[in-house]
A and B are shown apart, each in its own frame.
Chain A
């Protein structure tokens, strides 16, 4: 088990290096650099050249990448060109915000979606199934930022129930913090419910076909008991894998939600970084996101056997 985990981690190293190289190259290909932005419409060529030299941007891309990689290995991801903050602590602090929202949303969504999906699967091809699936499909069909804005408009401005912008960390004031993240979490939750319900339903359909369910039914167990004891727990395992994928995607992909609700999260840091040509920040974020993706997938794989009887059996 441990060896398997270590092996997997080792195997992901080339992937991470590849990711970082691709990001590095991509950012250098994008027109414009931090100096252009800093000097704006009055860029004196000499001054611009001096600044580039001071930032090390005058060296070849390969040398720059080599140096960056060397530092990255020792945990130094450089400093932001926008505000001179060290990148690693910056990324970590922004990640806290994103993680809070994403984990809260996915957890709530899972709690709602898994039973819903299971019921739909159990009542497959009935009106109830149809209603659940259509509802879920509609939810995942709505552009997330639009849903967010509508919520902001309605709950924030029209009703005035929650503050519309800003962020307070949980360590500062837990109640206030909850108030600030309720809308973004709700938006994400709604969309994730759409995705997860469909996934859970598919997983449950597979489980329902398995023999031991038929067996349980044959034993004369009541349907609700079959569902609770056999289907629900077993449908959980495949859904877990998918939750893993969703989490990985979300951690990077919530940029849009973070922009709508002005949350200082990782996604916004990255998008702002791209616009500001803040090379160290973009590189650091991407490396971090890729690492998270790898780790989450690994954890899901490792957790899988604990939930899926079929895997342990074989």
Chain B
């Protein structure tokens, strides 16, 4: 497995160093599975994770996430930040061409940005940039044909992290013809290495190579870096059923499986002719504890629950060594995650019993909401239930469908949940995702005013050391309060037939099929 990954990386280096060995784009199709059809083509509109995977082949923004989850330039050549920390000036790359042949200029960037900031667009990330979140974009202006300035009302350490987000459509730069005269969305005319081809709803969507794609120099780096469309066509086939998708890969009906569930991954790992790649993503798998619940309000009971669990065994047993326990909301692959954030108290059933006795717990059943859509959160809940039982904590599982569980989560209507968070690529955003006043935002899990103040500060400070210190403090407070028990960062599993070369898993979890070729 690891050898396969290494081999791929090695080939990648060869390609950069020795053009003689370079792969050449060919006239073939790579077929990849998706577990559901894409929802739409409008960046940051009606979308889900699968939509993002497909659209990231078509669309590009000013900046994009790198392999190490930092933000790097994409359509921007470079950027600079003004003295007061409010104005970002983006220098655009020369010679970038839209899918319709037009050359990208500052005017297109301004048009795209102003469209996103218009509430009528219903851009998903607008609340983060219109003052409801941290800061507000007050102006977007073209300085010259190759320069754009974006001004905020106050400095923000996370501005670039927001606009690079895949679920925001990477704040992609679009040609104005993407929208009809009536203002209605037509089709994405972007700058990516592929363009949208035939879309058979509910069955498949095909992307075709954009021959005039202007690639950045250098190696592939997350969503940025050099991109070569080796395959003339990419066909994403909708296979909702995971077992069927695995069968399709083994039966040579598809070449690549995206987003493979754990059970299928364990099986594929042992198969000949198939390579399974995995890497921890920035998403979080955790048990949420409702701190407003009459029983769980008592921190001793929450601590007892945490102490009753052997998290290492849960992770080892349910993930078979393909995930690493992580007690912190900051993802293990984040550069802000340090050794201190890997420490959690060892399992101690006696101590848990003692705490429960002190708290006067008399075997009241606690209901944990679970779902079968994310099988690993379900398996973890089954294991935790058995472990908590040994400490005398009675947990009942309540299986809900995902929409219902999400609804309960949004309302804070639960005692416990086995939950899965989507990726946050910035530690402040990770904390912001769970912390807040339950009174006004019932979905927030951790309601601690002191922590919220710290989180706010972490979003504004610019010094790395200071930020790291704040994060250490936050982790300490979080571990004391136990509003949730974090298990691990769920891995992204990606499987390909052996003939498929260049495939790489990375922490964002979005499968990339550029720079991928058939041997």
Contact = CB atoms under 8 A, between A and B. Distances in A.
B46 to A, nearest CB: 6
Nearest to B33: A165
Interface string B314-338: 0000000000000000000000000
A264 B250 contact: no
Interface string B123-134: 010110000100
A152 B251 CA distance: 11
A152 to B, nearest CB: 6
Interface stretch (A42-50, A126-134, A212-220): A42-50
A92 to B, nearest CB: 13
Nearest to A38: B46
B28 interface: no
A32 B403 contact: yes
Interface in B396-415: 401-404, 406-410
B96 interface: no
Interface in A268-287: 268-269, 272, 275-277
Interface string A241-271: 0000000000000000001111010001100
A78 interface: no
Nearest to A277: B403
Contacts, number: 120
B244 A261 contact: yes
A166 interface: yes
A163 interface: yes
A38 B410 CA distance: 12
B247 interface: yes
Given A30-B404, A164-B244, A259-B240, A264 B251 contact: no
A107 interface: no
B127 A47 contact: yes
Interface in B139-164: none
A114 to B, nearest CB: 33
A37 B241 CA distance: 19
B251 A37 contact: no
B422 A40 contact: yes
B251 A164 contact: yes
A45 B436 CA distance: 13
Interface stretch (A57-65, A79-87, A189-197): A79-87
B403 A36 contact: yes
Interface in B417-431: 419, 421-422
A174 to B, nearest CB: 17
Interface residues of A, number: 48
Contacts of A42: 422, 433
A9 B239 CA distance: 39
A41 B411 CA distance: 11
Interface in A159-217: 160, 163-167
A50 B40 contact: no
A188 B249 CA distance: 25
Interface string B488-504: 00000000000000000
A150 B443 CA distance: 43
8 contacts: A33-B407, A37-B406, A41-B422, A47-B124, A54-B122, A259-B240, A259-B241, A260-B244
Given A83-B40, A156-B247, A164-B253, A36 B201 contact: no
A41 B122 contact: no
B248 A164 contact: yes
A94 B127 CA distance: 37
Contact of A44 (B122, B127, B245): B127
A276 B35 CA distance: 13
A45 B441 contact: yes
A186 B212 CA distance: 48
Sorted from nearest, which 4 A-B pairs have the closest CB atoms?
A32-B407, A32-B403, A164-B247, A165-B248
A40 B243 CA distance: 25
Most buried by A among B37, B243, B403, B409: B403
Contact of A262 (B126, B244, B419): B244
A31 B407 contact: yes
Given A84-B40, A152-B244, A165-B254, 19 more contacts: A31-B408, A36-B410, A37-B402, A40-B406, A41-B421, A42-B422, A43-B443, A46-B132, A54-B122, A85-B201, A153-B247, A156-B251, A164-B244, A164-B253, A165-B244, A165-B247, A166-B248, A262-B241, A275-B401
A51 interface: yes
Given A32-B403, A44-B132, A167-B203, A272 B240 contact: yes
Contacts of A23: none
B421 to A, nearest CB: 5
A29 to B, nearest CB: 11
B251 A275 contact: no
B202 interface: yes
Contacts of B124: 39, 47
B237 interface: yes
A50 B119 CA distance: 10
Contacts of B46: 38, 82-84
Interface in B236-293: 237-241, 243-245, 247-248, 250-251, 253-254
B39 interface: yes
B409 to A, nearest CB: 7
A157 interface: yes
A90 interface: yes
A32 B404 contact: yes
B190 to A, nearest CB: 19
A36 B254 CA distance: 32
